[in-house]
Chain A
């Protein structure tokens, strides 16, 4: 099993490099200039621009730029064109906020997904099930930025509650708990919106796999033996439903990182999504390259871990 995983990882790594090369080509081909002082500043002379291009290898052919950038990325010396700081530092300072947001969203998605899924499975076929599945699809079909704005309009107009960034500003907090709850509040709204799609997907997975398990012979036998239906439900059926939950985590990770751009922008949340979006707008090639590459590696690792967990949870799965 180990050799299989290793081989797979190696091949994927090579491919990730190849694809990052292609995406770097796309990025650098994109019209627009990476100058940090804007494109139409009367004060900037040609000599200054040329000097700048030289400093960041921008006058070299693309493959050479890629080589320089990759080399610098691995030595930790890759610097943003925009502010001259190491790209890894820039990404690193966003990590706590991003991880907090995504963990929070993941918790909401999984727990509510499980709740709704289990409940729909119990009432399967009834009107509650039908309406819950409609709600689940409604959650998938809602444009998240739209709900975000509706929420914001409501909360600002009726409650005048701060909801931007990671904390309220200019306020003297009465105690530490209040400060903590304030932080939680700023986390909760974007996380909930991010989790909407996840709740829907998770609840569908859980429901389907629970129904499938309940139909299996050994459950029927257990039931015939007079085992309490609660135990059957929570012990046997749910255990088998862990599989989709794990796949769900694997599938949600990349979506959460990439899909947070809009929500982070709306809520002025200082996460990686906004960093990437700004880098696209500013044509900050080194930051974009590093972001693409690092996320790809993380997702790769995430998939790998999901695979391993899979085989642990469900012994029927053999990795070969």
Chain B
């Protein structure tokens, strides 16, 4: 009896396990291919917080784009257009300060008489207020104000100075205390950077005030405080954006969306306890006003044209989040977000999947798909397996597999240029790379066309500098560096690097060798490094390749500026403002101009382009910046890869509003903004029942 029981344990349990395995295998392999009315997206980057102002990773924005919406958005041609705003308009108030009211009145008369001689903008309004002259222009920027300034030769306006004081805490209290002591001081503008620094704008040059502030700070014992003059200008130029909001939008819980939500989102971004990584884009706002429930007025501290795109940020519901501490956000909202978008949050299993359900009350009409599911997978190979087993509906194809998918009739393939480029950054602080001839020689010696052919399998184009060819402000006239080992060798000879006995070039007894560092986990970059090593060896340069884990790579080498050369890539927004990557002020440790590029002409243009609002002028300046940097070769510009996505043939179509009250029904197609631009209007052909009957069908 006992023996029988034991025997069952010894033989029965393994048998039972085997039987279960076979049963489950048979069950799973017999599942029909009928799909739910859902779109499943395989992704590697799982979000940590679903909160547009607290997250900055691509994995989070991929989800947030379905749930949250901003005032503005890009349209399919990557132009700025409205979303939660019905309309918006730009203008600018420029304020000139004179010594007295008569001078201001005289200036006003001069402006009135010159009115009409400008064609690019209109002067909306001109008035004086005591010794100040206020002018409202239709076009923000410095152009109009500078033209006007030229009229005031007889009685020039007083300069304005902005000072920045870092206190490391209690900035508000410190400023209040200081102003109490110096009641005669006319402070025109104040602005606080969290509570750790403040900026004040005063009339006249700020040197005296700076000294006064310094001694005050010393006396009050704020030892780590610093006071510096940021800039001195002849007038205040304050751009203004006026948004009219849609009045038919509701949050997913039914509460109407109003200007209060916009104001709350801005306040939260600026809140110290929220620690929003998006804050820098909003630092230039002087104030945000809400004159009505559907009207928002944003006043900027100075012209900064890229600031408009920051209003694409997803907005937060004030009625749910106001007065709640940051921990509450993390425990509740950030894991179960509520937005205004076409899909509502449903559930989230960490490391596994995140599910969204369609928003039946969406203001443009409910989507056709019942849900969108994100599946979180650990690596690219898992993504591919998930796609092949129909566990994900599309896959971003690896370059080497593109051709096999293109030629396979089971699939539909989309290709479009990605918003990124790869490069080799030379550390310009290193004596070896200070010689332009050496950098140019390397650029000629590396066979980029071959790289594109074999690493990207032809899916990419050679890079011609910091702006990508498909951006509207890119310079189309730059020719890529040709592959020309002979020229490379000649340039190295000229630079004094003569071939040595073992084939490695030598100068002053030192061999021509350097270390190229790459981050681990990126196959393409590893391959690039290996090819560069090969290419340069053939002109007598020895390259050592070292590979480090990403965090180590960044913190130990790049951020500390302790490297010779590195393979990296930038994925860029459609942004002509390259200040942080190329301005000479950004070359310190942990800053992004880690190659140490310094060019005064580029600096001046970088400063100017951010204050320009006229697209034509932006285009011209951007082209100039791109050309100047390309000629200096601080990077060896490699390539702009194509992105390739694949879906199972006919698994989806698009049925979207045509903007005239009807719907168009098209196959999935690639727009300038990628193939997922209309993703919220995807539908599965087998669930085409609820689609409007009078839609315009395009095959």
CB distance from B540 to the nearest CB of A (A): 33
**Stretch in contact with the other chain, from A154-162, A214-222, A293-301, A302-310:** A154-162
- Contact at B555–A170, with CB atoms within 8 Å? no
- The answer to whether A84 and B556 touch (CB under 8 A), given A40-B592, A48-B277, A165-B375, is no
Kindly state whether residue A58 has any CB partner on chain B within 8 Å: no
CB distance from A54 to the nearest CB of B (A): 9
Chain B positions 271 through 308: 1 when the CB is less than 8 Å from some CB of chain A, otherwise 0: 01001111111010000000000000000000000000
- The answer to whether A51 and B57 touch (CB under 8 A), given A85-B331, A160-B389, A162-B28, is no
- The answer to whether A171 and B36 touch (CB under 8 A), given A163-B389, A181-B23, is yes
Kindly state whether residue B118 has any CB partner on chain A within 8 Å: no
For A184, list chain B residues within 8 Å (CB): 20, 24
Number of B interface residues, CB 8 Å? 83
For B2, list chain A residues within 8 Å (CB): 231, 234-235
Choose from A42, A83, A156, A171 the contact partner of B31 (Cβ within 8 Å): A171
Kindly state whether residue A20 has any CB partner on chain B within 8 Å: no
Kindly state whether residue B256 has any CB partner on chain A within 8 Å: no
Choose from A108, A170, A234, A275 the contact partner of B38 (Cβ within 8 Å): A170
Kindly state whether residue A55 has any CB partner on chain B within 8 Å: yes
CB distance from B582 to the nearest CB of A (A): 11
- Contact at A234–B330, with CB atoms within 8 Å? no
- Contact at B350–A265, with CB atoms within 8 Å? no
For A90, list chain B residues within 8 Å (CB): 350
CA distance A268 to B392 in the complex (A): 13
Kindly state whether residue B691 has any CB partner on chain A within 8 Å: no
- Contact at B48–A83, with CB atoms within 8 Å? yes
- Contact at B350–A168, with CB atoms within 8 Å? no
Chain B positions 1 through 27: 1 when the CB is less than 8 Å from some CB of chain A, otherwise 0: 011001101110110010011011101
CB distance from A95 to the nearest CB of B (A): 12
Kindly state whether residue A290 has any CB partner on chain B within 8 Å: no
Of all chain A residues, the one with the shortest Cβ separation from B5 is: A234
CA distance A46 to B57 in the complex (A): 18
For B558, list chain A residues within 8 Å (CB): 40
CA distance A152 to B329 in the complex (A): 40
Of all chain B residues, the one with the shortest Cβ separation from A228 is: B3
- The answer to whether A83 and B385 touch (CB under 8 A), given A47-B196, A51-B275, A274-B378, is no
Taking CB atoms and an 8 Å cut-off, the chain A residues in 165-193 that contact chain B are 165-166, 168-173, 177-178, 181-182, 184-185, 188, 192
For B3, list chain A residues within 8 Å (CB): 228, 230-231, 234-235
- Contact at A182–B27, with CB atoms within 8 Å? yes
Kindly state whether residue A114 has any CB partner on chain B within 8 Å: yes
- Contact at A111–B13, with CB atoms within 8 Å? yes
Kindly state whether residue B334 has any CB partner on chain A within 8 Å: yes
For B280, list chain A residues within 8 Å (CB): 43-45, 48
CA distance A175 to B245 in the complex (A): 48
Taking CB atoms and an 8 Å cut-off, the chain B residues in 349-392 that contact chain A are 349-353, 373, 375-379, 382, 385-386, 388-392
Kindly state whether residue B219 has any CB partner on chain A within 8 Å: no
- The answer to whether A164 and B377 touch (CB under 8 A), given A40-B592, A44-B56, A44-B280, is yes
CB distance from A45 to the nearest CB of B (A): 4
For A275, list chain B residues within 8 Å (CB): 351
- The answer to whether A182 and B24 touch (CB under 8 A), given A33-B551, A90-B350, A161-B389, is yes
- Contact at B36–A170, with CB atoms within 8 Å? yes
CA distance A184 to B9 in the complex (A): 21
Kindly state whether residue B550 has any CB partner on chain A within 8 Å: yes
- Contact at A39–B550, with CB atoms within 8 Å? yes
Q: How many A-B residue pairs have CB under 8 A?
A: 220
- The answer to whether A51 and B272 touch (CB under 8 A), given A45-B279, A171-B31, A181-B23, is yes
For B351, list chain A residues within 8 Å (CB): 94, 268, 270, 274-275
For A178, list chain B residues within 8 Å (CB): 27, 31
- Contact at A238–B6, with CB atoms within 8 Å? yes
CA distance A42 to B390 in the complex (A): 37
For B390, list chain A residues within 8 Å (CB): 160, 162, 170
Chain B positions 548 through 579: 1 when the CB is less than 8 Å from some CB of chain A, otherwise 0: 01111011101100000000000000000000
Kindly state whether residue A260 has any CB partner on chain B within 8 Å: no
For B590, list chain A residues within 8 Å (CB): 46
- Contact at B352–A172, with CB atoms within 8 Å? no
CA distance A93 to B463 in the complex (A): 46
Kindly state whether residue A243 has any CB partner on chain B within 8 Å: no
CA distance A211 to B91 in the complex (A): 92
Kindly state whether residue A68 has any CB partner on chain B within 8 Å: no
- Contact at A39–B7, with CB atoms within 8 Å? no
Choose from A38, A107, A118 the contact partner of B10 (Cβ within 8 Å): A118
Nearest 8 A-B pairs (CB), nearest first?
Answer: A32-B551, A84-B330, A270-B351, A83-B48, A185-B24, A39-B554, A37-B56, A234-B6
Further pairs besides A82-B48, A115-B11, A266-B382: 18, Cβ < 8 Å: A36-B48, A39-B550, A39-B551, A79-B330, A84-B49, A84-B329, A111-B9, A156-B389, A168-B31, A170-B390, A181-B28, A182-B24, A182-B31, A188-B21, A234-B2, A234-B3, A234-B6, A235-B2
Interface residues of B (CB under 8 A from A): 2-3, 6-7, 9-11, 13-14, 17, 20-21, 23-25, 27-29, 31-32, 34-36, 38, 40, 48-49, 55-57, 193-194, 196-197, 272, 275-281, 283, 326-327, 329-331, 334-335, 349-353, 373, 375-379, 382, 385-386, 388-393, 549-552, 554-556, 558-559, 580-581, 590, 592
Interface residues of A (CB under 8 A from B): 30-33, 36-48, 50-52, 55, 79, 82-86, 90, 93-94, 107-108, 111-112, 114-115, 118, 152, 156, 159-166, 168-173, 177-178, 181-182, 184-185, 188, 192, 228, 230-231, 234-235, 238, 265-266, 268, 270, 274-275, 281-283
25 example contacts (A-B, Cβ-Cβ < 8 A) are as follows: A30-B552, A31-B552, A32-B555, A33-B555, A48-B276, A50-B196, A83-B49, A84-B327, A108-B17, A111-B9, A156-B388, A162-B28, A165-B375, A169-B375, A169-B391, A170-B391, A170-B393, A178-B27, A184-B24, A192-B21, A234-B3, A238-B6, A268-B376, A270-B349, A270-B351
